[in-house]
Amino acid sequence: MSTIDWYDRNASAFDERTRDIDVVPQMRPFLDLLPPGAEILDAGCGPGRDIQLMVRLGFPATGFDASRSMVDLARANTVQTIHHLAFHQLAFVNAFDGIWANASLLHVPTDEIDDAIRRLKRALRANGVLYVSVKAGDGVRTAEDGRVFNDYSEPSMRALFARHVALDLISIEHSAPGAQQVDRKPWLHALARKTSPPSV
């Protein structure tokens, strides 16, 4: 069973387990870097919890997810536009002031992560802000439930952003695992800004 299959089969249970998680401590630094009313893309939006919060805080948001069941839940939970897309299908250009990739890029295979970052950067407007959260660790692992995770150390996160011109890393913060987590792995939270490429 693939990771996407797992989310398709367990969408409702996942929604119930995670809907009350408080993401404000992670979201506030991201939103503080954006202008009022900035347009945000929730990349890997799941059942739409974070989009609902963004809208309540005054930020119009659009979402996408690779799981059809998650998309259906997000559309039921919010009136915002939700696309059924995987990262490799993302084709937005200069469309958003901010991109929120909360616990989603951690499922992108190592050989596809640079393409995903390029597509996210392309979707950002100039001076747009990208937020990425991943689980702290080193390399690929398969969880007991069959989901595949790509964990990152702080050096490997820094190296990932360093490979992408005009995407300047602002910060990487660490946080403890959530109470609902089975694997008890801590998190890394990265913020980066899209800048103009240097003139040649």
Q: What is the pLDDT of residues 78-99, one digit of tens each?
A: 999 999 999 999 999 999 999 9
Enclosing H/E stretch for 28:
helix 24-32
Whether 136 contacts 185, CB under 8 Å: yes
- What is the predicted pLDDT for the residue at 4? 97
- What is the predicted pLDDT for the residue at 200? 38
Query: Domain for residue 32, yes or no?
Result: yes
Query: Domain for residue 182, yes or no?
Result: yes
pTM over 0.85: yes
- What is the predicted pLDDT for the residue at 59? 98
Among residues 143, 113, 130, the alpha carbon closest in space to that of 169 is found at 130
Instruction: Locate all alpha helices (DSSP H) within 63-112, ordered by sequence.
Output: 68-77
Whether 189 contacts 173, CB under 8 Å: yes
Number of domains in the chain: 1
- What is the predicted pLDDT for the residue at 35? 97
Report residues of the chain scoring pLDDT below 70.
179-183, 197-200
How far does CA 48 lie from the centroid of its chain? Answer: 12
Query: Domain for residue 199, yes or no?
Result: no
With a CB cutoff of 8 Å and minimum separation 6, the contacts of 179 are: none
- What is the predicted pLDDT for the residue at 181? 56
- Quickly count: other Cβ atoms within 10 Å of residue 110's Cβ: 11
CATH code, domain with 117: 3.40.50.150
- What is the predicted pLDDT for the residue at 179? 58
- What is the predicted pLDDT for the residue at 123? 98
Query: Domain for residue 200, yes or no?
Result: no
Query: Domain for residue 18, yes or no?
Result: yes
The residue to which tokens 């506030």 are assigned: 28
What is the span of the domain harbouring residue 71?
A: 3-194
With a CB cutoff of 8 Å and minimum separation 6, the contacts of 165 are: 197, 198
Whether 87 contacts 130, CB under 8 Å: no
